Homo-oligomer: A and B are copies of this chain.
């Protein structure tokens, strides 16, 4: 569904949100440990998320990554997916056609619209706050 980079990005952001709700900054190292991801690769992804304004980054001792409360409420899974994988999964044709629309549909066009719309809506509605609280109270996990 998503690229590995995007999976790491979503997991990292959820963890940053959890820590931020406790007013804590987290370092790259802590994040990579928590989500069980390669450190250097995770660094690249966090760079991208920081550039996209999804997370804040700070250098130096006591530095790390953080989100403010507004971000935790407003950032949706959708935003992370768009930042890392682009919008191909939301807009692209199920069979990879470049010019597939209602006028010139591919054989699975209509069938995919419903699925795709469900996915888009779900990801647009799901905030970091929602996912972070589930993780914080031990309802969900990011490892294994």
Using a CB–CB cutoff of 8 Å, the interface residues on chain A facing chain B are 1-2, 4, 7, 10-11, 14, 77, 89, 92, 94-100, 104-109, 111, 114-115, 118-119, 122, 126, 131, 134-135, 139-144
- How far does the alpha carbon of A53 sit from the alpha carbon of B122 in the complex, in Å? 37
Q: Is the interface of A mostly helix, strand, loop or mixed?
A: loop
Residues B134 and A96 in contact, CB atoms below 8 Å apart: no
Is there contact, CB below 8 Å, between A144 and B107?
no
Cβ contacts under 8 Å, A92 to chain B: 1
Report the separation of the CA atoms of residues A134 and B4 in the bound assembly, to the nearest whole angstrom: 36
A104's partner among B104, B119, B141 (CB-CB below 8 A) is B141
Q: Which residues of the other chain, B, contact A122 by a CB distance below 8 angstroms? A: 111, 114-115
